[in-house]
Structure 1
């Protein structure tokens, strides 16, 4: 009896549960708590499991070579996904009523068979498919198409399939739209308690295609050495009350998403593009930071509070840049004075240790059918920097106002901060190793100054984009938190996000908290009531999470536009910079397009190249020529894969 129990107990020890990670080749690994290494699952032992599923496995201790601990999947406890987005491939060889959906994003390692007995389905349609069964005798799961987005590669199909994949709502419910319309029709106001600034010269500066104007600036000279400057931010929190249907929807979205040619707004357009937007020649409610500044850029006194403004003019960045360059045009004195102050603010910030990283942005022009017809690389100009500096200052000063008492001691008041931790040392070390063969160095003892020196040295160099991307990757991700650790990149100890409440929910939280601290001693029944810190920390974490999703979405869509645009240059030769290596390929940043393509190592004809052990270079077996990260090479564009968003290049003999 005892020996029987021992056998059972021993047998039970071989059974475990864990999440499965299936490779593109079909074999898999299962992570099990308590095991130093993941359990290897051979291709024929995955038992219809899909990537990310929670599975029950049995250990078969060692494989035939006696090295790895192998296992086999006995049961799928819980599927991670049952719905997938893929491309429908019709079988034209036969009169079969079945098609295949191919999923390209590594979320599933097998194709899905679907019934296509309906004329609405077309070859190369992008579709949402749901797995309905997977009989043991069939190698592939059976699915049902539940949504058609359109032909793969088409603008709308790519946007809506991406939004579906990331679980983003692109339409507002009727209830939310109706609530927005009610607010718009009532135009709730409290002008009696607001500072009236409608008689002061005020203007907005935004991109040419902007629809939602969050911020406006005002300036007036008080005497020979003092100016009053106002930064006016749309008072979104006045209209959107916490707990309302609109508030819940805004929180759920947490951020607007900006695609090329399309915006998925956080708020309905009735509010984002109209009521809350600081349109010219209209009375608008705002939350303002007003301060006096002397000619040395010193802030003499400050005021925060609710205001009513009237923007006199809507400027684009291009218009303001012309005014700065030529010193003439509408409000040229005010704009040029603000520009001079912005230069002082930049100088102070850099002296304080702020990292000065200005990424070049790829901008596309689309035709009426939303096809990319041209691109240009946009750098920040003086007009951009003018706005940026005053927004940074406002976010910093509001955070300081809440966080510090008059004697500069911490107030310990609850607030939402934009925090940025120190960079990961290993990533900085990796950056150092890569840039040294290119003739650049980093000083770990004075890292920020060293990074700023590096950024100056690489300006205009072919390797600039690659090194800037490596610096960005080495940095920690900025996030929201109630626990303040400061902002490493900006060298601000107190910093928040306050200046974009139309497109960021984090800023609405900051508005509510600032208003609470400004009015908490007033006897007002409708006053905002402070919650526990856990409430705001949860909101902070959620806003950070949604921000990362929005960034990923925008990058993925940009890649689609880049690949679609570059397709017209098939057969052409370009220069690029080597940005990465794997065992079988070289990644190259095409300088003209600022986008990455790939050359297979086996396709390089000048020699047989292998990856060096340091992973930073490749070496030819015969000629022993070495290529490093950052080297400039010539390539030919030979193919484009729209489904995988891949650019395939051929290596021109780089002697």
Structure 2
């Protein structure tokens, strides 16, 4: 009687349209049911049956149905899914291939088909990249369906964590493959022969892509005469060539722990352009004079295409041991002891100059994973910055300042590294923090100015709490075509050219300088390139963070109960984020592990403190003794608790 009744259908449609709809994000539970999180305080239950139409992280809209005293959410339409492009593991159900997406509940198995470009015969547990082509909430679709577009690795591969990380961020997993690599003919005709100069390199023992070499002397007036030679891959790579387009897209060499993917072909990066000992190489060389006070003589700056021959490959550790402990230098080049002592003196002079005229960041430790033959973490070495690292850093800053002066005065554009200081949205918060700590004399305008930023940095640099407190208020680094200030370095402008093997922006600046010297057309860099570089830099940081977290999870998984010293680096509503000072791992200390009575412990992220019974007990930059409590592989998190005397 009621079947196919148009009035009834119309009534149902009207009731459906009148039912309020809400939007939120799906949060799946491992037991099959789930929740719709509307905000931090509101969530609604989703039945296991309805969860078959959504996945964890889906942003959806739908209705809330009241069932007695319970409110149940029914998803109706998809707004956005995290599974647009994803990686996962191959499985089989009733002889049909499925893919289990990473970071999803184990019961989510998506039917899949294979792109023709994926030639590998896939088997169970292989890891692949896939794109979602069908979602149950999409109109006219009933099931999840994905297309496999790329094979990552077998589950047994010792490189799996690295390859998965690269695939996750759509980063290349191999170096470019060129057809031929020969130096361009015009690059042979106007290069000075500087192979008789005693250049040398300082790098780690493991470095193959050596892109900078140094030579230094001192004149009778006490001025340092510095020569910096930088490898010149643009001698091989023509602008807008296929190889240039590849480098432009990659923008940077990918550096992951014990796993690097060159921006340029490995034959160039590690051989033909690398400034190897006793090998003639094309380079762009800069002559710079620096006086006894560390001031660069701008009129002395000279750039020239050249051929050089490094006379020695020195390591950071050996140079530091020589300068700090008078150990034997592992080279028989007679000029090196004097040159290294001059460089040590120059670095100290320049550090003082930067302290007075720019800004100097405090030295931080580096951490290096030591892997066994199966690429499992054996140990993590803390490597403090010693004098050799400081020397190379100061020399590269001098060279980059010299380039910046040339671009400013001779060309007018280039690729500049910029930093605008504090993010404007945090200014009111910063003023409040400064007032609470008795720091006066600043207002919104001064905090956003170059001079005001430098003034404040010099005031707070020795206050570890305030430095940590304001670190999150910084704006991100950026790139520009015209010169702009770099607040973080305390310099009015800053462009780099010292790593062209590893950074495409440095290649661009090389070409500009060489074209200027050769009276060739000067083309302003493409603004689109800046966007590519920014996006790639962001992805590389994510990738480096992810693989480090993976390796730390692996390393600490059998160290439950072990004690460490840690520094508080961030405070949020749930507790404190710490860094283990000996190995560099980031861990989390929940409020429940700080004090047993939840109502008596309160975190104040805006103040950077944790209170117990209204008393400040912990704050940013505090050092704590903790022990590993739990290692959660599925969420890549390490939970710690305080070491107590009890």
Question: Which interval holds the TM-score relative to the shorter structure?
Answer: 0.7 to 0.9
Distance 1:478 1:23, change over 3 A: same
User: Which residue of 1 is the match for residue 207 of structure 2?
Assistant: 210
Using the TM superposition, give the Cα deviation of residue 150 of structure 1 relative to its aligned residue in structure 2, in angstroms: 3.8
Deviation at 1:425, TM superposition (A): 5.6
Instruction: State yes or no: 1:199 paired with 2:229.
Output: no
- Match in the other structure for 1:85: 87
Identify if the C-alpha distance between structure 1 residues 41 and 442 changes in structure 2 by more than 3 Å, giving closer, same or farther.
farther
Measured in 2, the distance between the counterparts of 1:424 and 1:372 equals 38
Unaligned runs of 5+ in 2: 1-13, 29-33, 67-71, 114-120, 447-451
> C-alpha displacement at 1:626, in angstroms?
4.4
> How far is the alpha carbon of 1:292 from its aligned partner?
3.1
Q: How does 1:423-572 map to 2 (within 5 A)?
A: 423-424=422-423, 427=426, 444=442, 447-452=453-458, 454-456=460-462, 458=464, 472-520=471-519, 527=520, 529-531=521-523, 533=524, 536-572=526-562
Is contact 1:395-1:495 (8 Å) kept? yes
Mapped to 2, the partners of 1:402 and 1:21 lie a distance apart of: 49
What CA distance in whole angstroms lies between the structure 1 residues aligned with 2:640 and 2:603? 24
Partners in 2 of 1:560 and 1:497 — Cα distance? 32
Higher mean alpha-carbon deviation, 377-386 vs 11-20, is at 11-20
2:601 touches 2:612 (CA, 8 Å); kept in 1?
no
Inter-CA distance 378–90: structure 2 relative to 1 (3 Å threshold): farther
- 1:5 is matched with none
> 1:340-489 residue pairs with structure 2 within 5 A?
340-404=345-409, 413-424=412-423, 427=426, 444=442, 447-452=453-458, 454-456=460-462, 458=464, 472-489=471-488
Shift of 1:262: 1.1
Q: Which moved more, 1:327-336 or 1:277-286?
A: 327-336
Contact conserved, 1:112 with 1:142, CA < 8 A, in 2? no
Q: Is the 8 A contact 2:301 2:402 kept in 1?
A: no
Asked if the contact 1:608/1:620 (under 8 Å) is kept, the reply is: no
For 1:83-122, what aligned pairs fall within 5 Å after superposition?
A: 83-86=85-88, 101=100, 103-104=102-103, 112-114=108-110, 120-122=123-125
* Residue aligning to 1:642: 633
Residue 228 of structure 2 corresponds to which residue in structure 1?
Answer: 231
For the structure 1 residues 477 and 99, does the alpha-carbon distance in structure 2 shift closer, same or farther, using more than 3 Å as the test? same
Tell me the CA shift for residue 18 of structure 1. 13
Match of 1:168 in 2: 171
In the TM superposition, residue 100 of structure 1 has moved relative to its aligned partner by: 7.4
Structure 2 SS opposite 1:248:
helix
RMSD: 4.5
In the other structure, the counterpart of 1:177 is 177
- Residue by residue over 1:248-295, the C-alpha shift from the partner in whole angstroms, topping out at 9 and shown as x without a partner, is 111111100111111011011110000111111011111111123444
Other-structure match for 2:5: none
Number of residues of Structure 1 aligned to a counterpart in Structure 2: 593
CA distance in 1, matches of 2:364, 2:23: 38
Alignment partner of 1:282 is 2:301: no
Residue 6 of structure 1 corresponds to none
Deviations 1:156-206 (A, max 9, x none): 11111111111112124xxx5243xx224x675644411221111110111
Query: Structure 1 residue 494: deviation in Å?
Result: 2.3
User: Residue 112 of structure 2 contacts residue 145 of structure 2 at CA under 8 Å; is this kept in 1?
Assistant: no
Per-residue deviation, 1:507: 0.3
Determine if contact 1:114/1:144 at 8 Å carries over to the other structure: no
Secondary structure of residue in 1 paired with 2:342: helix
Q: Secondary structure at the match of 1:635?
A: strand
Q: Distance in 2 between matches of 1:83 and 1:626?
A: 45
5 Å matches for 1:65-84? 74-76=76-78, 81-84=83-86
CA distance in 2, matches of 1:119, 1:512: 45
Deviates more, 1:546-555 or 1:269-278: 546-555
CA distance in 1, matches of 2:441, 2:254: 38
Aligned mates of 2:177, 2:53 — CA distance in 1: 44
Aligned to 2:117: none
Distance 1:449 1:353 in 2: 10
Give the drift of 1:40.
Answer: 9.5
Aligned to 1:247: 244
Query: What is the rounded CA distance, in whole Å, between the counterparts of 1:340 and 1:15 in structure 2?
Result: 77
Q: Separation in 2 of the partners of 1:245 and 1:497? A: 24
Distance in 2 of aligned mates of 1:139 and 1:111: 18
Relative to 1, partners in 2 of residues 1:221 and 1:617: Cα closer, same or farther, differing over 3 Å? closer
Residues 637 and 647 in structure 1, CA contact (< 8 A), matched pair in contact too: yes
Q: Is the 8 A contact 1:601 1:609 kept in 2?
A: no
Structure 1 residues 139, 609: closer, same or farther in 2, change over 3 A?
farther
Tell me if the contact between 2:602 and 2:612 (Cα under 8 Å) persists in the aligned partners: no
Provide, for residues 426-461 of structure 1, a one-character-per-residue CA deviation record: whole Å limited to 9, x for no partner: 657767988999x99798576535534644454xxx
Aligned equivalents of 1:587 and 1:298: distance in 2?
41
SS in 2 for 1:387: helix
Q: 1:230 to 1:54 in 2, by over 3 A?
A: same
More divergent stretch after superposition (539-548 vs 279-288): 539-548
Report the CA distance between 1:612 and its aligned residue.
Answer: 2.9
1:396 Cα offset (Å): 1.3
Question: C-alpha displacement at 1:634, in angstroms?
Answer: 3.7
Among residues 257, 269, 272, which one is paired with 1:272 in the alignment?
269
- Worse-matched range after superposition: 95-104 or 287-296: 95-104
Residue 586 of structure 2, aligned match among 587, 596, 601: 596
Q: Which TM-score applies when normalising by structure 2? A: 0.78
Task: Give deviations 1:571-613, integer Å, cap 9, x for gaps.
Answer: 2233434444444444333333332223444456743355537
1:313-332 to 2 correspondences below 5 Å: 313-326=312-325, 329=329, 330=333, 331-332=336-337
Q: Deviations over 1:496-532 (max 9, x none)?
A: 0110000000101111112222222xxxxxx4x444x
Mark the runs of 5 or more structure 1 residues left unpaired by the alignment: 1-9, 31-36, 65-69, 406-410, 521-526
Q: Distance in 1 between matches of 2:564 and 2:325?
A: 37
CA 1:598/1:275 → structure 2, altered by over 3 Å: closer, same or farther?
same
Aligned partners of 1:206 and 1:316 also within 8 Å: yes
Which string of whole-angstrom CA distances, capped at 9 and with x for unpartnered residues, describes residues 478-504 of structure 1? Answer: 221113321111121121011000000
Q: What is the TM-score normalised by the length of structure 1? A: 0.77
